[in-house]
Amino acid sequence: MQEEKTVRRGVYILPNLFTTASLFTGFLAMVLAAQGQIESAALAVLFSALMDGLDGKVARLTNTASEFGIQYDSLSDLVAFGVAPAFMCWVWMLNVYGKLGIGVAFLYVACTALRLARFNINVNVVSKKFFVGLPCPAAGCFLAMFVLFSSYLPEWLAVRVAFLALFVTFVMALLMVSRVRYFAFKEYGFLRAHAFSYMVVALLIFVLILSQPVVFGFTFGTIYILSGLVYTFIILPRRNRLGSLAQN
């Protein structure tokens, strides 16, 4: 008797409701940005990421993962973490650069689409340990956190916030289509082996974020962005060199 495939072709309501909520809050972020409520738009993008994270978890827990859900989730991600953050940043700061600002905002949207397309065609061969390229929810959330964190910038940086917004949007776009590897948090064997220690660390991180959510949220986001660069360009080449020496 042939085993049932993990990914089915049916349409399941529960996980797709969370995907729809993610799509709606991404759309809401654009509406809020158009009304000049930039911080509210940033919060909408972050809430969209929460819904996006839940839809996959619910699908796995209820064994309702489907091909339809995968494609619907990708289309939702393009809106919530591609179009919405780009439009938010353009309304916020990028518009002062005229055509350059439009170009960078569009580059971000295009790279989000390319990132999702590459992920979809490699979904069966992608590593469970690492993402190749920055995940688009992480990129969208980082732009949202940067918007919220901008009010904490010192005066000498606050006057350059438009350039920083242009630079950060450009870098996020390139990282999404890069070969930089980012930890995927999908394999929990190592965490289970050190469950108590990591529970304490998780509690400490939770307390820090709760005390200053914007500051520490942006800080941990920055650490995650840099971790992929450090692993890909420093740790991985060194590990490969040591492996080559051991074989010789």
The pLDDT tens digits for 149-161 are 999 999 999 999 9
Q: Which long-range contacts (CB under 8 A, 24 or more apart) does 119-125 make?
A: 119/74, 120/70, 120/71, 120/74, 123/70
pLDDT in tens, 69-83: 888 999 999 999 999
Of residues 94, 85, 96, 131, the one with CA closest to residue 224: 131
d(CA 95, CA 24): 25
Mean pLDDT of 169-180: 96
* DSSP category for residue 7: S
> pLDDT averaged over the chain?
86
Q: What pLDDT is attached to residue 41?
A: 98
What is the H or E stretch that residue 183 is in?
strand 181-183
CATH of domain 13-180: 1.20.120.1760
pLDDT in tens, 127-140: 667 888 999 999 99
Rounded to a whole number of angstroms, the CA Rg of the chain reads: 19
Percentage of the chain exceeding pLDDT 90? 59
